[in-house]
Amino acid sequence: MVNVICMKWGTKYPASDVNRLRSMVRRHLSRPHRFICFTDESAGIDPSVEIRPLPQVNVPPGPERCWRKLGVFDQKQTQLEGVTLFLDLDIIVLDSLDPFFEHPGDFCIIRDWLRGHRSVGNSSVFRFVADRHQNVLPAFHADTQRIAANYRCDQDFISVSVGPVTWWPEEWCRSFKYHCMYSFPFAFFRAPKRPAGTRLLIFHGFPKPEEAIAGTCRKFGLRYAKPSPWLAEHWQ
């Protein structure tokens, strides 16, 4: 038995995103698993999802930088046991998730696409063992203001706090923005492509999955993409 977990706080993501992720995981993970959502609002979430309260994290004031994710490492609060895969809500599963539980390594994470030379992870998808890395949240609480001032967001701090990290194979986790969309002016003539070998598509910033499917995102004119209806068969 393994764990697949996600987090939902505030109003940025609706319950339907949790339900879609649960459906995608069910279709693409063959081994026995528990699907758990840590949230402060469970209304509308499918009954097949195990609901647990958000772990308490002393989030510093300022823009949202996902510091709440650090709470998943506090086993006393999460009550998790065993191997655990964390997934962001704004991803689309394209292929089997089984390899994410077979890949060697104590802590596995995406190598950030834009800052890989700095060995910084992208925390959209990471795997850990629940009773390890218990130092992460106490270290954050012990020096919150300095950490918030010196680390861009949760994933920067996680990357240096969990000990040696193992990167997922590069082709498994791809950014829709960077690896599927074409740049100007080609974006006006070519629809976004599916990179070979991709298991998870990560959506960060713009466009969002629903915008990518419909081709409606016009973020300052820099994020234009033709519709990608092929995503709809997976994002459900």
pLDDT digits (tens, 9 = 90+) for 185-204: 787 888 899 999 999 999 98
**Rounded distance between C-alpha atoms, residue 202 and residue 124, angstroms:** 7
Could you tell me the two tokens for 81?
A: 């046991």
Helices first, then strands: H and E counts in the chain: 7, 10
Find, among 99, 146, 95, the residue nearest to 127 by Cα.
Answer: 99
pLDDT at 124: 97
Where does 43-199 show beta strands of DSSP type E? 50-53, 83-87, 91-93, 108-111, 121-129, 166-167, 173-175
Residues 193 and 230 sit within 8 Å (Cβ to Cβ): no
Residues 88 and 124 sit within 8 Å (Cβ to Cβ): yes
All domains in the chain, ordered by first residue: 2-90+106-167 (3.90.550.10), 173-231 (no CATH)
pLDDT at 62: 82
Q: What is the pLDDT of residues 60-109, one digit of tens each?
A: 888 889 999 999 999 999 999 999 999 999 999 999 999 999 999 999 99
Residues in the chain with pLDDT values less than 50: none
> pTM of this prediction?
0.95
The torsion angle over the Cα atoms of residues 56, 3, 115 and 58, rounded to 10 degrees, is 0
Residues 41 and 8 sit within 8 Å (Cβ to Cβ): yes
Identify the three-state secondary structure at position 89. coil
pLDDT at 76: 97
At residue 80, φ and ψ (nearest 5 deg) are: -80, 150
pLDDT at 195: 93
Could you tell me the two tokens for 219?
A: 């973020």
**Rounded distance between C-alpha atoms, residue 161 and residue 208, angstroms:** 30
pLDDT at 113: 85
Strand partners, 200: 93, 173
pLDDT at 184: 78
Where residue 109 falls (left for φ over 0; alpha for ψ -120 to 50; beta otherwise) is beta
